[in-house]
Chain A
Amino acid sequence: MANAETPKKLPLDAIWRERTSKFGDFAGYDMPLQFEGLIPEHNWTRAHAGLFDVSHMGPSFFALPKGHGLEGEEAHKKVSSLIERLVPADIQGLKPGQVRYTMITNEDGGVLDDLMIARPAEPGAAGDLYIVVNAGCKHQDWALIEAATKGEANLVRADDRCLLALQGPAAHQVAAAVIDPALADMNFMTVKRYDAFGRITVTRSGYTGEDGYEILVRAENATDLANALLAHAEVKPIGLGARDSLRLEAGLCLYGHDLDPTTSPIEADLAWTIQKRRREAKDFPGAKRILREYDLGPARKRVGIRPNDRAPAREGVEIFKDGRQVGIVTSGGFSPVLNAPISIGYVESAYAEPGTGLELMIRGQARAATVTPLPFVPHNYHRPKKGS
C-alpha cells in the first residue's frame, strides 16, 4: 500500500540534488539512487572511494542513566548485559573501541533486524554503547530496546545527524587527508571519536566488502564534511543502487530480503556472530531453536548462487533440484566485477555445498545454476596483521 506520508529529505539533500535527479523513496527517505550510473559507481567504489549518504539509518547511543556510579569495565558490563537481552552476540566481551555485528532475534529464533554495536574507546564514555540499526526497522528496534531496558538505561536517537559511509581501497588515504591522519591507523570493526567537523564518531566498517568508514556527524557540520570529502580526487558520490550491488557481491545480508522474522542466524550462515559465552549461557531470545540448529545443522541454509548463463535470478525466483522446489532466491542481480549474474538464496541443507548444481525457474523456464561460496568478490577489509 502506498505510504501517504511524503518521504523525508536528507539533511544533505541539496548536495545530492546538485549532482543527480534520480531519487527514490527508501524506508521513508527521499534517497539518491544513482549518479553517473550504477555500474560505473560500483566499479569506482571497488577501485577508489565512494561516498554514500546513509543518514536514513538508525544510529543511537544507549547509556546507563547519569549518576550510575559504575566505572570502566563494570559500567560496560552493566550496559552490555542490558542490550544482551535482545541480541545473541557477546557485547560484554567487547574491548574498548571494538564494534560487533549482531542481530535482534525473536522468541522463535527469527531475525527482527541486523545491527552494529560498538563500545566507545574513550574512558569517559564507559557505560555507553553506540548502536546502528537499519532504516526500515529503527522505530521497531528502538521501541524493543526501550521496552526491554526501561528505567535501567536510556536510548538517545542520533538519526537527526548525518551518517556518511566512505568506502573503497582509497578510503583510508582520503580519511587521513580530509579528517585526521589517525583514521588510517584504525583497524576494521573499531570505533573512535575525533574532534573534527564538530565532534564525529567514526567506525572503520561498512557494507560494501571494502575497507572504509562510517562517520556520524552533526547536521550543521555535515555539509562541510561532505564537501571536503567530495573535493578529493579519489571520491565520487554513490547512490543506493550501487550500494546494493556492492553488498550483494560481498555476500552480505539485506534485511527484509535475506533476513526476516522467520530466518534464524544459523540458517543465514551467521553462526560466527554468536560467541561462545552466549552459546553456553543460552540466554538470548530464540536460543532454543538457534542453538539446536547450531548443534544439529539447520534445515535450510543461505548460499551464493551463480546462474550458469546470463539471465539474472532476482528475489522470489524458485530454486529446483530434480524437478522439486528446494529453495528460493532472496536477493539477486548483476555483479559488475564478475560481469555475470549473482544471487543469494536459501536451499535445503543437502544442496548447500559449493559446486552443487541447481535449477532456477526464471519466467517459467528452468535454468542451470551452481552453488558458490560467499562472498562472490573477496572482502578487502583492513585488519591487523597476525602476530602484531
Chain B
Amino acid sequence: MTTRYTKDHEWVRLDGDIATIGISTYAAEQLGDVVYAELPAVGKSVKQGDDLAVVESAKTASDVYAPISGDVVEGNAAIAGENWQIINDEPQAGGWFVKLKVADKSEIEALMDEAAYADYVKGL
C-alpha cells in the first residue's frame, strides 16, 4: 500500500476501496503538541478539498481537508476518546483521523508520492 500526500500535509493510504487519512509527520512536528481534535460524523459525505477534521495545538487551529472524495465510515476511537497525544506520537500510523469509502480512486493517483512529498517539504 503506498501512501500519497497533499500540499496541505494530509496523507492517504488506500486498502481496497477504504482510504485511511491523517496528517503527515512533518505537519505534526510543525503543529506541536495537539490539545484538541474534532472528527466528522460517520456517514458524512465529503468532496476533495472539503473541511474534514480540525486539529489544534496550543499555538493554532488547523483544518484537515479531505484529500479525496468519499463517505466517512470510521473515526479514530483514540482521537474521539481525547487521546490526542497519539497524533504527535505516530501521525502516520495509530494517529490516523478517519477512514473514507472512496468514490473515485483516480483522485489518489494525482496526489504526491513519498518522494515527491519529501521534495515538497524540503522546499518549504
A interface list, Cβ under 8 A from B: 34, 37-39, 42, 241, 245, 310-312, 314, 333-334, 336, 341, 363
A363 surroundings in chain B (CB, below 8 A): 38, 54
Q: Which of B33, B35, B54, B82 contacts A37 (CB 8 A)?
A: B33
Q: A336 contacts B54, CB within 8 Å?
A: no
Q: A245 contacts B32, CB within 8 Å?
A: no
Within 8 A of A (CB), among B84-107: none
A312 surroundings in chain B (CB, below 8 A): 35-36, 56, 61
Q: Which range contains the number of B residues in contact with the other chain? A: 10 to 19
B59 surroundings in chain A (CB, below 8 A): 34, 38, 241, 333
Q: Which of B36, B54, B57, B61 contacts A38 (CB 8 A)?
A: B57
Q: B36 contacts A310, CB within 8 Å?
A: yes
Q: 5 tightest CB-CB pairs across the interface, nearest first?
A: A334-B58, A334-B35, A38-B58, A39-B33, A241-B59
Q: Which of B38, B56, B58, B82 contacts A336 (CB 8 A)?
A: B58
Q: A333 contacts B32, CB within 8 Å?
A: no
Knowing A241-B58, A363-B54, say if A37 contacts B38 (CB, 8 Å): no
Assembled-state Cα–Cα distance A283/B32 (Å): 49
Q: Which of A34, A39, A311, A336 contacts B36 (CB 8 A)?
A: A311
Q: B58 contacts A245, CB within 8 Å?
A: yes
19 chain-A/chain-B pairs, Cβ below 8 angstroms: A37-B32, A38-B32, A38-B33, A38-B57, A38-B59, A39-B32, A39-B33, A42-B58, A245-B58, A310-B82, A311-B38, A311-B56, A312-B35, A312-B56, A312-B61, A334-B36, A341-B35, A363-B38, A363-B54
A39 surroundings in chain B (CB, below 8 A): 32-33, 58
- Name the distance in Å between B76's Cβ and chain A's nearest Cβ: 16
Q: What total count of A-B pairs have CB within 8 Å?
A: 40
- Name the distance in Å between A179's Cβ and chain B's nearest Cβ: 31
- Name the distance in Å between B7's Cβ and chain A's nearest Cβ: 20
9 additional contacts, CB 8 Å, given A34-B32, A310-B35, A334-B58? A39-B33, A42-B58, A311-B38, A312-B35, A312-B36, A334-B56, A334-B57, A336-B58, A363-B38
- Name the distance in Å between A46's Cβ and chain B's nearest Cβ: 14
- Name the distance in Å between B103's Cβ and chain A's nearest Cβ: 24
A336 surroundings in chain B (CB, below 8 A): 58
Q: Which of B32, B36, B54 contacts A341 (CB 8 A)?
A: B36
- Name the distance in Å between A339's Cβ and chain B's nearest Cβ: 8
B32 surroundings in chain A (CB, below 8 A): 34, 37-39, 241
Assembled-state Cα–Cα distance A363/B37 (Å): 13
Assembled-state Cα–Cα distance A314/B35 (Å): 13
A314 surroundings in chain B (CB, below 8 A): 61
Assembled-state Cα–Cα distance A336/B57 (Å): 11
A34 surroundings in chain B (CB, below 8 A): 32, 59
B82 surroundings in chain A (CB, below 8 A): 310
Assembled-state Cα–Cα distance A252/B38 (Å): 29
Assembled-state Cα–Cα distance A312/B58 (Å): 9
Residues 31-52 of B, flagged 1 when their CB comes within 8 A of A and 0 if not, give 0110110100000000000000
A333 surroundings in chain B (CB, below 8 A): 58-59
A245 surroundings in chain B (CB, below 8 A): 58
* A309 nearest in chain B by CB position: B36
* A314 nearest in chain B by CB position: B61
Assembled-state Cα–Cα distance A70/B45 (Å): 77
B57 surroundings in chain A (CB, below 8 A): 38, 334
B36 surroundings in chain A (CB, below 8 A): 310-312, 334, 341
Assembled-state Cα–Cα distance A363/B51 (Å): 11
* A40 nearest in chain B by CB position: B33
* A245 nearest in chain B by CB position: B58
Assembled-state Cα–Cα distance A310/B57 (Å): 12
A37 surroundings in chain B (CB, below 8 A): 32-33
- Name the distance in Å between A106's Cβ and chain B's nearest Cβ: 32
Assembled-state Cα–Cα distance A311/B38 (Å): 8
Assembled-state Cα–Cα distance A241/B61 (Å): 14
* B84 nearest in chain A by CB position: A310
* A42 nearest in chain B by CB position: B58
